Amino acid sequence: MDELTIVVPVKAAVPNITAVRLDPNTHNLVREGVPLMINPYDRNAVELALRIKDRFGGKVITISMAPPNGKDFLESTIGMGVDEGILITDRVFAGADTLATSHAIAKSIAKLYPNFSLIIMGEETTDSTTAHMPAQVASWLEIPFVYYATDAEPNIKDGTVKITRYLEDEGLLEEFIYNMPIIMSVYRNSNPPRDISLNRKIMAKVNGLVKVLTNKELGLNPDCVGLKGSPTIVAKIEDAKPLPRKKQIFQGDPKEGAKWLLENLVKEGVIR
């Protein structure tokens, strides 16, 4: 290996999940007209990639499957220091679940960057929080994967990478050494992202550093992508029904309210 090629798949997340509409037939999110932002935790992944590049050299690429207006947030990642961006966009990809999304992303990486060294991804997205994607991309590419990385130190000479990761629920910091290529996700409370340079972002726009990839170039079977290539369906949606509760509401002087509350809680036997 003479140079690191680091690919960072990023998601165009929905900033405000309560202010969106669902398609009445597919129950999928209607993306038209919804503003896009980069999934916040993906910026930590970009940061780790850039830190590796700062220390060991190489090239960092962001890649995203998004509607055509996704170009802008990929340009923002170039503003952080990324070298180039790839926007995968095609109507046949619409309605993809995580399997179909990971399929398009994995195949794009394999096609454009077959000699990639590392794929680095955010821990999860803030709008759907499945954390599926890194493992699914690994599954398509048949390479190892490790979640929740806080640090990674590649060794270009022997082609290995030392990865530290943090398991939050166990309070455990683990260390691994893997042969590259490998996929890792980045622990969301590590690698706080650097600022976006507006000059670099404009430069990205002017020089066309974000390239668009459609299924014409990718050539995936239309039955294996988008809604058709998604094993899961949203069978139905319904309003969440609150459990029956007493719903006694006090309005008025806060001191009186506190007294009223305490009396009731004592009556309920939950405060002694």
Ligand X SMILES: Cc1cc2nc3c(=O)[nH]c(=O)nc-3n(C[C@H](O)[C@H](O)[C@H](O)COP(=O)(O)OP(=O)(O)OC[C@H]3O[C@@H](n4cnc5c(N)ncnc54)[C@H](O)[C@@H]3O)c2cc1C
SS3 174: strand
Q: How far apart are CA 110 and CA 133, in angstroms?
A: 16
Pick between residue 5 and residue 125 the one whose CB is nearest to ligand X.
125
Q: Is 264 in the site for other proteins (CB under 8 A)?
A: yes
CB contact at 8 A, 126 and 39: yes
* Upper half-sphere CA count for residue 15 (Cβ side, 13 Å): 7
Task: Answer with the entry of other proteins, ligand X, none that 202 interacts with (C-beta below 5 to 8 A by kind).
Answer: none
Report the residue from 33, 68, 171, 219 that binds other proteins according to the rule CB under 8 A.
171
Q: Is 16 in the site for ligand X (CB under 6 A)?
A: no
Task: Answer with the entry of other proteins, ligand X, none that 143 interacts with (C-beta below 5 to 8 A by kind).
Answer: other proteins
Q: Is 140 in the site for other proteins (CB under 8 A)?
A: yes
Pick between residue 198 and residue 233 the one whose CB is nearest to other proteins.
233
Pick between residue 47 and residue 84 the one whose CB is nearest to other proteins.
47
Q: Is 214 in the site for ligand X (CB under 6 A)?
A: no
Classify burial at 125, counting beta carbons within 10 Å of its beta carbon; exposed 0-12, middle 13-18, buried 19 or more.
buried
Tell me how far CA of residue 102 lies from CA of 15, 147, 226, 260, in angstroms: 21, 16, 10, 54
Q: How far apart are CA 112 and CA 192, in angstroms?
A: 28
Q: Which residues contact 74 (CB under 8 A, 6 or more apart)?
A: 10, 62, 64, 85, 86, 87, 210
Residue whose tokens read 């309005």 = 251
Q: Is 153 in the site for ligand X (CB under 6 A)?
A: no
Q: Is 41 in the site for other proteins (CB under 8 A)?
A: no
Closest CA to 154 of 120, 122, 123: 120
Report the residue from 2, 32, 195, 268 that binds other proteins according to the rule CB under 8 A.
268
Q: How many residues bind ligand X (CB under 6 A)?
A: 5
Pick between residue 29 and residue 143 the one whose CB is nearest to ligand X.
29
Report the residue from 129, 179, 189, 207 that binds ligand X according to the rule CB under 6 A.
129
Q: Is 182 in the site for other proteins (CB under 8 A)?
A: yes
Q: How many residues bind other proteins (CB under 8 A)?
A: 87
Q: Is 20 in the site for ligand X (CB under 6 A)?
A: no
Q: Sign of torsion, CA 221 224 225 226?
A: positive
Closest CA to 165 of 147, 152, 149: 149
* Minimum gap (Å) between residue 130 Cβ and ligand X: 9
Q: Is 198 in the site for other proteins (CB under 8 A)?
A: no
Closest CA to 104 of 224, 228, 8, 249: 224
* Minimum gap (Å) between residue 17 Cβ and ligand X: 5
216-219 contacts: CB < 8 A, separation 24 or more? 216/90, 217/111, 218/88, 218/90, 218/104, 218/107, 218/108, 218/111
Report the residue from 127, 131, 135, 209 that binds ligand X according to the rule CB under 6 A.
127
Q: Is 17 in the site for ligand X (CB under 6 A)?
A: yes
Pick between residue 1 and residue 20 the one whose CB is nearest to ligand X.
20
Q: Is 128 in the site for ligand X (CB under 6 A)?
A: yes
> Interface residues with ligand X (CB under 6 A)?
17, 126-129
